Amino acid sequence: MSESTPALWQQLLASARVLAGVRAGRSTTTEFEAVDAALRAGVQALSLQVLRSLGLAQALRQLLARRPPPPAADALLCTALALLAADAPAYAPHTLVSQAVEAAKRDAATLHQASFINGCLRRFLREREALLTQVQTQPEARYNHPAWWIARLRQDQAAHWQDVLAAAQRPALIVLRINQRLCSRSAYLGELERAGIAAEPVGQCGLQLARSMPVQNLPGYAQGWFSVQDAAAQLAAPLLLSGLHAAGERLRVLDACAAPGGKTAHILESADVDVLALEIDAQRARRIEANLARLQLQARVQVADAALPQSWWDGQPFDAVLLDAPCTASGIVGRHPDVRWLRRPEDIAALAAQQSRLLQALWPVLRPGGRLLLCTCSVFRAEGQDQLQAFLAHHKDAQLLPSPGHLLPGVVPDGPAMPDNLGREHDGFFYALLQRQAQ
């Protein structure tokens, strides 16, 4: 091992701290920022693997130790168990055990639990098959999601719930959206081929990479030739804009919850329009501006609460409104496996209520004949079909246009307005396109 290569025990210890942070309610995005730069890439890879196997690891720990050890030791033990229980562990089992014990010895919070951790892990190696068989009767261990999540998904998506859970266990692929104002998809595919990078077309203007890599190293990143955006998310701009005519000289478009700006940028890449991008958080609003600058695009970005139009609306109606509403993010757990462990059952109702408030507030800013696209990256009906039906029941001037509805990870979509090459390796989304009728 070279001096510049971090020891495995260092990565395990840092990964256990990430897990402890998630258990305390913090996202992996926040936790990874606190990891030393030399360790970050390895810790990210290990942590994502651990979070995808956390239900199994926690069930095994309960068999190995009925009483949980202190939080730091429990996080380290579950980290090691998740990695050991993998079908094809990245490290030799005895190496993982010895390095996990070394990690315990190196940290004051786990030092006195090193022998306990060693005993649990070595017992797992001796009884591996029997222990794995025993925990498979538990839904959390079998599917690696919280039990309430599994039950809710079975209720909401009865025909496909197992497909959705299985898709969440596969590392998400990188999909690029080509900035067609600067580069065609065929031309950029040629750039990737010359760089020895395999990719294939997906959707109308996307390219799916065959393997993950730092996107900043791809050709044309600094020049704004592409953005990273899942194929399902790339449906928003064409759904909103296709066939829509401006009441004035140019379409006036509102992106109501715009950060980090991916859909704002796609709208601007697709048509000559005037866009107002709202974001309630000032720091996230700056990310929109930075992303637009890299892509050589311009929009008016305003820090404001979309649910309070009186604070930002000039009274001139919009031709189109994109409401990419705050949600549980249950459709993107393949990309962000911490989400499943951060959410609580009561979050669904709270977020659905927030979505309803936004819908009610934004409908009046839309001109008659204009369109509002509601989208959430959720697989739960309360944040999709149920939300839509409740809105239509109370707004007789709202007409539902052909819309994809729920797009489920692991399921090939077959709804209206769908490209035929979207496949099944996409995030989960809900889309409903509404037109405001004259009363």
Sheet with 226-228, edge to edge strand ranges:
199-202, 206-209, 175-178, 226-228
Q: Which of 236, 230, 409 is nearest to 333 (CA)?
A: 409
What span, in angstroms and rounded, lies between the C-alpha atoms of 406 and 427?
Answer: 11
Q: Is the dihedral of CA 182, 187, 189, 190 positive or negative?
A: negative
Check if the beta carbon of residue 373 is closer than 8 Å to that of residue 321: yes
Q: Find all residues with CB under 8 Å of 203, minimum gap 6, and list them.
A: 231, 234, 235, 419, 421, 422
Choose among 116, 87, 114: nearest CA to 101. 114
**Three-class DSSP category at 302:** strand
300: which DSSP letter?
E
Q: Is 377 a catalytic residue?
A: yes
A 10 A CB-CB count for 137 gives: 9
Degrees (nearest 5) of the Cα angle 428, 383, 276? 85
Catalytic residue among 78, 205, 257, 377: 377
Catalytic residue annotation: 377
